[in-house]
C-alpha cells in the first residue's frame, strides 16, 4: 500500500497542528503582533523564499513531464512573491540584505539537501511546505489590516487549489516509489512540520517594540 499526503496528515495530527497553529499567526489575526516580530518574520521569510525558489527549480528538473504545468505555474507565482516581499520590505524600511537567523539557515540547509533525495521525497516536502503556509494563514480566519493582505496571499482559494494539485503529484510519485523512499518522504514531512513550528517561534521570539 502506497503512502499518501492525506495519510501523513492523519498519522501526525499534533505535529501538523503545531506547524500551522501558532500564537504568531493568532496575534496577526487580532493585530496584537509587535512590529519587531512581524518584521523579523518578513525578512527571514524572504531569505527562505530565495532558497525555496531553488528547491522549486530542482523539483522541476527532477519531475516527470506531466507535472510540469503545475510546477511552472508555481515558479511564476514565486517570482511575483519575491517582488512582493521586496515591496513590503521597502514599505517598512527593512533591509533584506541581512544574515539568516539559525532557524532559517537550518530550514534552507534542509531544502538544499533534498536535492539528493528521490523525486517522491522532494515532491512530498514541497507540498508540505506550501500546505503549511496555506493552512497557517487560512486557519485563523479573517485577519486585521495590514496582515489580511499576507493572509490572502497564501490562504486564498487559488493557492488552496494549487496545493491540492501538489498533493496529487506527490501521491502519484509515492504510488510508484519503493518502501524505503516512502519512509524517506514520511521523514521529510515530519521535518518540514517541525521546521515550520520553529520558524513561527523564531519570529515570535523577536525582541523590540
Q: Which pLDDT does position 2 carry in this prediction?
A: 85
Where in the chain are the domains? 12-203
Over the chain (209 residues), the average pLDDT of each successive run of 10 is: 93 98 96 97 98 98 97 95 96 97 98 97 98 95 92 93 98 97 98 98 93
CATH architecture of 12-203: Up-down Bundle (1.20)
Q: Which pLDDT does position 1 carry in this prediction?
A: 67
Q: Which pLDDT does position 190 carry in this prediction?
A: 98
Q: Which pLDDT does position 6 carry in this prediction?
A: 98
- The conformational region for residue 77 under phi > 0 = left, psi -120 to 50 = alpha, else beta, is alpha
Q: Which pLDDT does position 178 carry in this prediction?
A: 97
pTM over 0.95: yes
Nearest-5° Cα angle at 60, 56 to 61: 120
Angle at which helix 179-204 crosses helix 157-175, to 10 degrees, equals: 150
Amino acid at each position: 500500500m502506497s503512502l499518501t499526503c492525506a495519510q501523513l496528515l492523519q498519522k501526525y495530527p499534533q505535529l501538523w497542528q503545531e506547524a500551522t497553529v501558532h500564537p504568531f499567526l493568532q496575534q496577526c489575526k487580532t493585530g496584537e503582533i509587535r512590529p519587531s516580530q512581524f518584521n523579523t518574520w518578513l525578512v527571514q521569510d524572504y531569505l527562505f523564499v530565495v532558497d525555496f525558489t531553488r528547491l522549486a527549480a530542482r523539483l522541476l528538473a527532477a519531475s516527470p513531464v506531466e507535472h510540469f504545468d503545475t510546477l511552472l505555474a508555481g515558479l511564476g507565482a514565486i517570482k511575483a512573491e519575491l517582488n512582493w516581499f521586496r515591496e513590503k520590505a521597502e514599505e517598512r524600511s527593512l533591509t533584506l540584505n541581512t544574515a539568516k537567523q539559525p532557524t532559517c539557515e537550518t530550514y534552507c540547509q534542509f531544502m538544499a539537501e533534498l536535492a539528493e533525495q528521490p523525486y517522491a521525497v522532494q515532491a512530498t516536502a514541497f507540498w508540505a511546505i506550501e500546505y503549511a503556509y496555506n493552512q497557517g494563514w487560512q486557519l485563523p480566519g479573517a485577519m486585521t489590516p495590514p496582515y489580511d493582505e499576507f493572509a490572502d496571499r497564501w490562504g486564498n482559494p487559488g493557492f488552496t487549489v494549487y496545493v491540492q494539485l501538489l498533493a496529487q503529484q506527490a501521491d502519484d510519485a509515492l504510488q510508484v516509489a519503493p518502501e524505503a523512499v516512502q519512509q524517506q518522504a514520511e521523514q521529510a514531512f515530519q521535518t518540514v512540520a517541525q521546521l515550520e513550528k520553529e520558524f513561527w517561534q523564531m519570529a515570535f521570539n523577536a525582541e523590540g517594540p
